């Protein structure tokens, strides 16, 4: 039966032709790479789980025959490289493809494997056998000397495999899913909710507008709009303009709008409601995440997930609603000299935030992965705490990372932004901020400049004019990855802008639990994503790592697995539904820098590496204690351990080999890739302009009336899932913005 979702989230046949710039010879090389990463393999070479279902067995047979060369996988991969990859990566991939599309280039990259006995004696990469191509890929993924080329092959590996397992046809299905034991959540049995769009009365979706309709739509929402031919722009006046609609922007919009101010929120992403969500990994990642979820640091060491839709990260996060730990608040108040964080106001804000987003402390039924975590901890004598969530206690959804289809999770798009709209706020979607409007400050305040608003542009090419949004106060709330580039492009110079970026890096461990010998029931993609947590450390002041469960769709699961060979990949993917993933997350001391949009550098401190290693080793012990028959890490050599009949000595010897190696660009043979879903601190708060990019009120040290109200103001990493911290901080800062506006009104 065909399912109905929002057109942008359904996948299937493309509406437009492919626009990548790769030539036919490039595509020939890319197709042969895709086939080598996901080759056809003999059915008898696969140790697939025993299944009695004839349909599933037929699907497994078909999956074994399938390859990454099949249309449209190479073209989809090429499209992503062209549109999502940063410039150096695009040029590197094109260089590799150009080399492999010629005989001399193939000889340089493949060595003697490309030799044949007959003229012309050298095969191009596409002319080599799949087996020989596979050996070339294995060589480059291990090569520790020309790591730049290795990074290119690592990216292609991730991309080819990810596309293979996420591309869907007209029936919104991928042929491999049946073989993997995966079925997208249909949310059957969930209580029927009203089919409504709660932001409709305050939202203007520029992707649905044109030049001749946009002014009328904006005026209809109560905005003062004037066309200015001299600047080819639409001038909009309001009290407060907020860039970004996530945890920070949503809360700020609600507080300011209910205080009587006319608020305009601009959001470059689109607006979706629960009935729009398809829960299909590929289309959902493409529309709901920054860079389509295919985002990393410049060296490829850390892959990054950040929301990019109305509601921001709160619309796609994993529901964990953990209050800021008291030791962290004390550190910020005492060491950073920011008393707000231990004030009654901040604790009251946490109470108000938890109440508004409906945080509950218990979980009626845990999913497979959280059962594994809790079961393993109990058997080892460790504590596994229950994680509060912004949903009901019986919320059993493993797909909230693609939007909450049931409507149970209470993100900013269904709470704070609804409050804001009900108080007269207007949200303009598909609208990207370009720079803040700054002028020399003539007031007696110390700031050299004054912010008058923001310049923005619709992503819809049918709207040719820019938006000049003039406001009494401007709030940047577009997150730790995008607030710094926006401030830099506006001409701000504070040396803290973009620096001190914290990512809560994670490394994952996996464990396979066959269905026929496990006391733990369910599938890895079912149930609440994070409902339990284990902290490694002696007490709350000495937490070295937090261990939680991870949400991985079929594509992400396959793409992040170490690639040893095509046969190994298919063997592991067939065990998808019963492979639990636990991750070790740290409160990082090391930090990074956002130098421009999409350009992130990051350095792990040595203590960070040690802590994440300790957490990773603990995660493996938990998986083994819970009954896994095989466990492993994501180290590039496919590090794994068979658990049946092992001795304690065997286990200790394996655990001792588990480390936290560098990324693919480092000079090591066995590398790994870290992950991050939390970004903080890149415009941190400080008591002086030497200490931070903004003051204790969130106001820029350089520009009066320019405030930052998102995770980038946090003084350092939080150490736990940061949603409550971000919203509570935004709550306090928004109240301060209200006070500033009232003070100015009185003085004027």
Q: Which residues are catalytic?
A: 678
What gap in Å lies between CA 691 and CA 337, rounded to an integer? 10
Closest listed residue to residue 43, CA positions, set 579, 515, 567: 567
DSSP label of 13: S
| CA angle (624 as vertex; 653, 508 as ends), nearest 5 | 85
| CA angle (638 as vertex; 635, 644 as ends), nearest 5 | 115
**Does residue 246 have a known ligand-binding role?**
yes
**Does residue 692 have a known ligand-binding role?**
no
Q: Is the peptide bond before 120 cis (omega within 30 degrees of 0)?
A: yes
744, two tokens:
């100015």
438, two tokens:
């700054």
CB 663 within 8 A of CB 302: yes
**Does residue 240 have a known ligand-binding role?**
yes
What is residue 513's three-state secondary structure? coil
What is residue 426's three-state secondary structure? strand
Phi, psi for 609 (deg, rounded to 5)? -60, -40
Phi, psi for 731 (deg, rounded to 5)? -60, -50
Q: What is the dihedral of CA 231, 234, 236, 241, to 10 degrees?
A: -90
H helices present in 167-242, as ranges: 175-180, 211-220
The partner residues of 296 in beta bridges, in order of sequence, read 303
Q: How far apart are the first and last CA of the chain?
A: 64
CB 698 within 8 A of CB 710: no
Q: How far is CA 334 from CA 349, 398, 701, 729, in A?
A: 20, 39, 21, 17
Which H helix or E strand runs over 387?
Answer: none
**Does residue 253 have a known ligand-binding role?**
yes
Closest listed residue to residue 687, CA positions, set 696, 679, 697, 678: 696
What is residue 655's three-state secondary structure? helix
**Does residue 241 have a known ligand-binding role?**
yes
514 in the Ramachandran plot: left (φ > 0), alpha (ψ -120 to 50) or beta? beta
What gap in Å lies between CA 740 and CA 644, rounded to an integer? 65
**Does residue 243 have a known ligand-binding role?**
yes
Neighbours of 349 (CB within 10 A): 24
What is residue 244's three-state secondary structure? coil
**Does residue 239 have a known ligand-binding role?**
yes
Q: Burial-class residue 225 by CB neighbours within 10 Å (0-12, 13-18, 19+).
A: middle
Residue with tokens 């492999």: 100
Which H helix or E strand runs over 154?
Answer: helix 147-166
Phi, psi for 592 (deg, rounded to 5)? -135, -170
Residue with tokens 């003697």: 112
DSSP label of 431: E
**Does residue 69 have a known ligand-binding role?**
no
Contacts with 358 (C-beta within 8 Å, 6 or more apart), sequence order: 390, 391, 392, 410, 415
What is the distance, to the nearest Å, from the Cα of residue 90 to the centroid of all Cα atoms in its chain?
21
**Does residue 252 have a known ligand-binding role?**
yes
**Does residue 545 have a known ligand-binding role?**
no
Q: Is the peptide bond before 625 cis (omega within 30 degrees of 0)?
A: no
What gap in Å lies between CA 285 and CA 294, rounded to an integer? 8
**Does residue 245 have a known ligand-binding role?**
yes
What gap in Å lies between CA 643 and CA 665, rounded to an integer? 32
DSSP label of 48: P
**Does residue 244 have a known ligand-binding role?**
yes
Q: Burial-class residue 167 by CB neighbours within 10 Å (0-12, 13-18, 19+).
A: buried
What gap in Å lies between CA 342 and CA 345, rounded to an integer? 8
What gap in Å lies between CA 679 and CA 320, rounded to an integer? 15
- Detail the residues annotated as belonging to a binding site: 238-253
- Detail the residues annotated as belonging to a binding site for FAD: 238-253
């Amino acid at each position: 039966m065909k399912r109905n979702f929002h057109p942008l989230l359904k996948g299937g046949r493309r509406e437009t032709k492919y626009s990548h710039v790769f030539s036919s010879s490039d595509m020939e090389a890319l197709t042969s790479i895709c086939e080598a990463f996901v080759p056809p393999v003999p059915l008898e070479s696969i140790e697939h789980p025993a299944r009695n279902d004839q349909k599933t067995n037929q699907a497994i047979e078909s999956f074994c025959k399938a390859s990454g060369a099949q249309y449209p996988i190479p073209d989809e991969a090429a499209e992503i490289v062209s549109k999502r990859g940063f410039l150096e990566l695009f040029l590197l991939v094109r260089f590799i493809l150009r080399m492999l599309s010629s005989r001399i280039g193939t000889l340089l990259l493949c060595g003697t494997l490309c030799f044949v006995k007959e003229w012309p004696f050298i095969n191009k990469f596409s002319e080599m056998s799949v087996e020989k191509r596979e050996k070339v890929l294995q060589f480059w993924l291990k090569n520790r000397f020309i790591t730049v080329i290795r990074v290119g092959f690592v990216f292609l590996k991730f991309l080819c495999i990810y596309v293979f397992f996420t591309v869907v046809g007209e029936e919104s299905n991928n042929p491999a899913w049946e073989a993997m034991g995966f079925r997208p959540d249909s949310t059957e049995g969930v209580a029927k909710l009203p089919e409504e769009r709660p932001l409709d009365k305050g939202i203007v979706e520029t992707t649905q507008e044109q030049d001749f309709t946009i002014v009328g739509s904006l005026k209809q929402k109560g905005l003062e709009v004037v066309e200015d031919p001299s600047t080819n722009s639409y001038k909009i006046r309001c009290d407060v303009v907020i860039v970004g609609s996530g945890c920070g922007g949503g809360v700020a919009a609600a507080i300011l709008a209910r205080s009587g101010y006319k608020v305009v929120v601009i959001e470059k992403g689109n607006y979706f409601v629960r009935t729009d969500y398809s829960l299909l990994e590929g289309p959902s990642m493409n529309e709901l995440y920054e860079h389509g979820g295919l985002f990393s640091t410049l060296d490829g060491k850390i892959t990054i997930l950040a929301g990019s839709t109305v509601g921001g990260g709160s619309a796609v996060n994993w529901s964990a609603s953990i209050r800021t730990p008291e030791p962290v608040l004390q550190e910020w108040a005492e060491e950073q000299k920011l008393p707000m964080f231990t004030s009654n106001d901040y604790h009251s804000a946490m109470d108000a935030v938890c109440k508004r987003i409906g945080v509950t402390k218990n979980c009626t039924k845990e999913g497979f992965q959280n059962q594994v975590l809790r079961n393993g901890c109990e058997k080892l004598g460790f504590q596994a705490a229950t994680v509060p969530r912004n949903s009901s206690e019986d919320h059993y959804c493993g797909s909230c990372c693609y939007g909450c289809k049931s409507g149970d999770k209470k993100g900013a798009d269904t709470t704070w932004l609804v409050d804001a709209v009900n108080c007269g706020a207007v949200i303009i979607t598909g609208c990207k901020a370009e720079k803040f409007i700054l002028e020399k400050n003539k007031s007696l305040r110390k700031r050299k400049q004054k912010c008058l608003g923001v310049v923005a542009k619709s992503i819809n090419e049918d709207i040719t004019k820019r938006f000049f949004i003039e406001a009494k106060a401007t709030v940047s709330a577009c997150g730790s990855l995008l607030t710094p580039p926006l401030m830099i492009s506006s001409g701000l110079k504070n040396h803290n802008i973009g620096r001190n970026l914290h990512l809560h890096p994670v490394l994952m461990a996996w464990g396979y639990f066959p269905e026929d010998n496990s006391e733990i029931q369910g599938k890895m993609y079912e149930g609440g994503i994070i409902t339990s947590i284990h902290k490694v450390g002696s007490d709350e002041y000495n937490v070295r790592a937090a261990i939680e469960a991870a949400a991985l769709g079929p594509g992400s699961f396959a793409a992040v697995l170490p690639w040893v060979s095509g046969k190994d990949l298919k063997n592991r993917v067939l065990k998808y539904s019963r492979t639990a993933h636990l991750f070790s997350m740290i409160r990082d001391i090391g930090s990074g820098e956002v130098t421009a949009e999409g350009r992130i550098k990051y350095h792990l401190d040595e203590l960070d590496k040690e802590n994440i290693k300790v957490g990773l080793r603990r995660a493996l012990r938990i998986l083994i204690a819970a009954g896994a028959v095989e466990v492993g890490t994501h180290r590039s050599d496919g590090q794994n351990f068979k658990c049946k009949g092992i001795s304690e000595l065997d286990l200790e010897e394996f655990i001792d080999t588990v480390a936290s190696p560098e990324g693919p660009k480092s000079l090591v043979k066995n590398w790994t890739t870290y992950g991050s879903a939390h970004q903080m601190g890149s415009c941190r708060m400080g008591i002086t302009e030497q200490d931070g990019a903004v003051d204790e009120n969130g106001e820029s040290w350089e520009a009066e009336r320019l405030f930052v109200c998102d995770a980038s103001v946090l003084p350092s990493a939080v150490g736990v899932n940061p949603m409550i911290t971000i919203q509570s901080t935004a709550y306090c800062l928004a109240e301060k913005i209200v006070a500033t506006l009232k003070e100015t009104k009185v003085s004027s």
